[in-house]
Amino acid sequence: MKKKISAIVTAAVIALSATACGKSETKDEKVVRIAYLPITHSLAVLEEADELEAKEGVKVELVKYGSWNELTDALNSNRVDGASVLMELAMKSKQEGIGIKAVALGHHDGNVIVVKNDIESAEDLKGKNIAIPHRQSSHNILINDALAKAGLTVEDVNITELAPTEMPSALASGQIDAYCVAEPFGAMGVSIGAGKVLYRSDELWEDSICCGLVLTDKFINERPEDAKNFVDSYKAAGAELTKEKAKETAKKYLSQSDEVLDMSLEWISYDDLEITEEAYDALVEKVKSYGLSEEPPAYSDFVKNDL
Ligand code: ZN
């Protein structure tokens, strides 16, 4: 499932108008194709697309996907120039030889562990069914962190992978007892009364990394100027994402209720999106110690801050 959104339409309209006036120039070569999932974790790139639509130069074509696997396939086969993606998934692709670089964070904090209302502590998770969106995710790491607080590991629970959209109803029906996933699906579970927040991510893992903005080496090498402009604009858009602006952008792209968005946006921020070596190395340690990957890429091979 994917859907192209307005930026490319605008570019096409401009190109058509130019042709109609007798000019053959198009702006297609300035379009940057970025894959995303409709979650609050992608708001910086959605906000950037909105801002750039109104300006000259680089245009962003947003390509929406319905699952991380579909999005990763598109990124790994150069069908898009970049993506807002779970960092662990991108690290795995890099490890497997895919030419990509992480150029910025998607957001700070912004995850919660939602549990059934009768679960009071990490100890109570023993033997329970817990959902995560993908093994390669910070949601998996956060579940491991929460279990560790009670001296438990994933061996003491049943971990299951579930699509983010299915988690709130799976909790309500009793199919699962807890979950951790990109927002706003945690807030949604709380808002329908299916569960409550046991931990916010910042209570388990300070300065956690979750999503990143990742660009293909092909795009960076073939269009270095566009790549630099794109990343600079992305960071500027993130810095401008106040709670009010984030909600405005989220309402445009996510079709969620005010109640869900108000709750969810309290947990996340988008300023200062540079990936620091310290935060990345902390992620690498967790990826190794919780068994997500034995050889995640080194900071110097994977993170690019100097476009
Ligand atoms: Zn995220």
135 alpha carbon to ligand 1 midpoint, in Å? 14
307 alpha carbon to ligand 1 midpoint, in Å? 23
Domain end, chosen from 154, 185, 204, is at 204
271 alpha carbon to ligand 1 midpoint, in Å? 14
Task: Clarify whether residues 96 and 213 are in a common domain.
Answer: yes
41 alpha carbon to ligand 1 midpoint, in Å? 5
Domain end, chosen from 187, 204, 221, is at 204
Task: Clarify whether residues 153 and 186 are in a common domain.
Answer: yes
181 alpha carbon to ligand 1 midpoint, in Å? 8
283 alpha carbon to ligand 1 midpoint, in Å? 13
- Residue range 126-185, pLDDT digits in tens: 999 999 999 999 999 999 999 999 999 999 999 999 999 999 999 999 999 999 999 999
The arrangement of strands across the sheet holding 196-200 comes to 158-161, 129-132, 178-180, 112-115, 196-200
Task: Clarify whether residues 267 and 289 are in a common domain.
Answer: yes
Residue 23: inside a domain, yes or no? no
- Residue range 36-56, pLDDT digits in tens: 999 999 999 999 998 887 776
pLDDT band per the 50, 70, 90 thresholds, residue 25: very low
Task: Clarify whether residues 193 and 80 are in a common domain.
Answer: no
- Residue range 283-292, pLDDT digits in tens: 999 999 999 9
Task: Clarify whether residues 177 and 293 are in a common domain.
Answer: no
Task: Clarify whether residues 41 and 162 are in a common domain.
Answer: no
- Residue range 235-284, pLDDT digits in tens: 999 999 999 999 999 999 998 999 999 999 999 999 999 999 999 999 99
Query: What does DSSP assign to residue 56?
Result: S
Domain with 226, as residue range(s), is 28-108+208-302
Residue 13: inside a domain, yes or no? no
Whole-model pTM: value is 0.89
Task: Clarify whether residues 219 and 178 are in a common domain.
Answer: no
83 alpha carbon to ligand 1 midpoint, in Å? 12
Give the chain's domain count.
2
12 alpha carbon to ligand 1 midpoint, in Å? 31
Task: Clarify whether residues 235 and 180 are in a common domain.
Answer: no
39 alpha carbon to ligand 1 midpoint, in Å? 8
268 alpha carbon to ligand 1 midpoint, in Å? 9
Residue 262: inside a domain, yes or no? yes
23 alpha carbon to ligand 1 midpoint, in Å? 43
Task: Clarify whether residues 191 and 51 are in a common domain.
Answer: no
Task: Clarify whether residues 82 and 224 are in a common domain.
Answer: yes
pLDDT band per the 50, 70, 90 thresholds, residue 220: very high
19 alpha carbon to ligand 1 midpoint, in Å? 41
- As to burial, measured by CB atoms within 10 angstroms (0-12 exposed, 13-18 middle, 19+ buried), residue 100 is buried
86 alpha carbon to ligand 1 midpoint, in Å? 6
Domain end, chosen from 156, 180, 204, is at 204
Task: Clarify whether residues 127 and 101 are in a common domain.
Answer: no
Task: Clarify whether residues 281 and 241 are in a common domain.
Answer: yes
Calpha distance 307→81 (Å, rounded): 15
Which residues are CB-neighbours of 73 under 8 A, at least 6 positions away? Answer: 79
Residue 63, number of CB atoms within 10 A of its CB? 20
148 alpha carbon to ligand 1 midpoint, in Å? 22
136 alpha carbon to ligand 1 midpoint, in Å? 12
Which residues are CB-neighbours of 214 under 8 A, at least 6 positions away? Answer: 75, 82, 83, 84, 85, 90, 100, 101, 102, 103
CATH number of domain containing 188: 3.40.190.10
Characterize 166-182 residue by residue with b for buried, 16 or more Cβ atoms within 10 angstroms of its Cβ, and e for exposed: bbbebbeeeebbbbbbb
